[in-house]
């Protein structure tokens, strides 16, 4: 009987499930969007029960669509939107509050307090992270401080915290397992990436009781099994990794210095730095790439908060396109953005600036500016932000990056990929399977259960779809970049009080 891997890919705007066969080929995909909740400016929430119901629904749909039964599932891997924070009651399994999403800025003032107290250096040394509202630790504290009775319940051991992976596994096992993996743990601001343990000093600083936390495991091992009631048969849960770590592995960036960029709601560039933590001097974060068989691989990462989301804004906010794929056609109506620059700092600026007060800025407008120029500037902004992060990565690692492996929804946009290669003056390589996040989770799960023998056999599965090489003279690139730098300067100066 042929066996398959089921990969659950729980993202920021949708839950997806993909079935992979032994060649790493996709056999079926099911996807369902869920609501984005914005209770106040700068606040972003999800309903945890909706996350679970959509994820369970698409898992069943993907299995049915591929014509399989649960006996044919060798194992299940999970990858997830990171930092998004859920706190629930251990006894009832009921969330005490909505999931606070990674994009949420409500704890920005508290982060500023931590910096004023000079704690950012200590937090950085232990976690590799910059102090920012992006990470989970301050979100947990907010829930405990603001939900009536939550802190007392937490101190009495009645509440559980988890990132989305932990929440899904809790539900898949009907409350039997409260676990996470090293990658998701490394994004909480509570986990020491040098000792690879929850850090008591950080828990005290953020006033988070240790009894709430999940057990931390590697990315590739059998953690337990799904409840038979859910899938008809107990399926081994054998792989967990945060989405960007899974994508790095799915892209087979398994050697030091290899880099991938995922173009999703945000953009996330990650470089494999081998078995050592490289502290960043350029506002990147040092993080755990993965852990397999007791060996930890580290990475440098730059997070861009708004990438594909800028196209959604053109669609939903401005109404200049009806569907996201239309953006390429509209942008192609003009030769270039004609000096228009859009800095999409809708949720602050991420790496390498880390300015949480920054807001979106559109500059260089004239009476001749059209919707096509704005669409072009929106696409260009994704490539410019990527370049900023890549330059910071080269400076931190001391390595030249000749090739960028790319994945995610926006890589289907050839105009954007070509512009990216032009700006970087380097090759941009798109793989045949662009679902690298789900693929990475499948690989972790398959390695743990013997479905795949070893990493070298996986490496042979990686195939290039298309390579984009620079077609623009370096001088022209420089001229465009000087405009982008001015636009960034305008964005940051807007935040300064006069």
**Is the separation of the CB atoms in 397 and 300 below 8 Å?**
yes
14 a known binding residue? Answer: yes
384 a known binding residue? Answer: no
414 a known binding residue? Answer: no
47 a known binding residue? Answer: no
83 a known binding residue? Answer: yes
C-alpha dihedral over 165, 168, 174, 176, to 10 degrees?
0
82 a known binding residue? Answer: yes
376 a known binding residue? Answer: no
75 a known binding residue? Answer: no
262 a known binding residue? Answer: no
134 a known binding residue? Answer: yes
12 a known binding residue? Answer: yes
Residues 73-93: b if buried by 16+ CB within 10 A, e if exposed: bbbbbbbbbbbbbbbbebeeb
409 a known binding residue? Answer: yes
Residues making up the annotated binding site for ATP are 12-14, 265, 308, 312, 409
Annotated binding site for ADP: 12, 16, 265, 308, 409, 413
Binding residues, by number, are 12-14, 16, 82-83, 134, 243-244, 265, 308, 312, 409, 413
* Binding-site annotation: residue ranges for glycerol: 82-83, 134, 243-244
């Amino acid at each position: 009987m042929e066996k398959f891997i089921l990969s659950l890919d729980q993202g920021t705007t949708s839950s997806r499930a993909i079935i992979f066969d032994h060649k790493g080929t996709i056999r079926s995909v099911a996807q369902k969007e869920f609501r984005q909740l914005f209770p106040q400016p700068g606040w972003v929430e999800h309903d945890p029960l909706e996350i679970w119901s959509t994820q369970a629904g698409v898992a069943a749909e993907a299995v049915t669509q591929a014509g399989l039964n649960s006996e044919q599932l060798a194992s299940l891997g999970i990858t997830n939107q990171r930092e998004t924070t859920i706190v629930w009651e251990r006894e009832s399994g009921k969330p005490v509050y909505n999931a606070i999403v990674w994009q949420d800025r409500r704890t920005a003032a508290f982060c500023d307090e931590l910096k004023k107290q000079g704690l950012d250096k200590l937090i950085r040394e232990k976690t590799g992270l910059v102090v920012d509202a992006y990470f989970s630790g301050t979100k947990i504290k907010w829930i405990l401080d603001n939900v009536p009775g939550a802190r007392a319940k937490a101190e009495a051991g009645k509440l559980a915290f988890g990132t989305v992976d932990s929440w899904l596994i809790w539900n898949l096992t009907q409350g039997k397992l409260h676990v996470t993996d090293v990658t998701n743990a490394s994004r909480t601001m509570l986990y020491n990436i040098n000792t690879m343990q929850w850090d008591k000093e950080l828990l005290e600083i953020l006033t988070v009781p240790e009894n709430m936390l999940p057990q931390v495991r590697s990315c590739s091992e059998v953690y337990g099994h799904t409840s038979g009631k859910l899938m008809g048969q107990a399926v081994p849960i054998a792989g967990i990794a945060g989405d960007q770590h899974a994508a790095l592995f799915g892209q087979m960036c398994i050697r030091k210095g290899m880099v991938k960029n995922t173009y999703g709601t945000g953009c996330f560039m990650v470089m494999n730095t081998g078995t050592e933590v490289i502290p960043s001097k350029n506002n990147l974060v040092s993080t755990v790439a993965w852990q397999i068989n007791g060996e930890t691989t580290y990475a440098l990462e730059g997070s861009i908060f708004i990438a594909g989301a800028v196209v959604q804004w053109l669609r939903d906010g401005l109404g200049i396109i009806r569907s996201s794929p239309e953006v390429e056609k509209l942008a192609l109506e003009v030769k270039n953005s004609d000096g228009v620059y859009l800095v999409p700092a809708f949720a602050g600026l991420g790496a390498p600036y880390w300015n949480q007060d920054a807001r979106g800025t559109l500059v260089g407008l004239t009476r001749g500016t059209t919707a096509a120029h704005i669409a072009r500037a929106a696409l260009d902004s994704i490539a410019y932000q990527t370049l900023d992060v890549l330059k910071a990565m080269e400076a931190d690692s001391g390595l030249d990056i000749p090739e960028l492996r790319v994945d995610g929804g926006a890589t289907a946009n050839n105009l954007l990929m070509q512009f990216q290669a032009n700006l970087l003056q380097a090759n941009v390589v798109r793989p045949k399977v662009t679902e690298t996040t789900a693929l990475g989770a499948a690989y972790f799960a398959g390695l743990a259960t013997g479905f795949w023998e070893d990493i070298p056999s996986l490496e042979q599965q990686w195939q290039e779809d298309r390579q984009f090489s620079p077609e623009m003279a370096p001088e022209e690139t420089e001229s465009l970049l000087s405009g982008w730098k001015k636009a960034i300067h305008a964005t940051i100066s807007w935040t300064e009080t006069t």
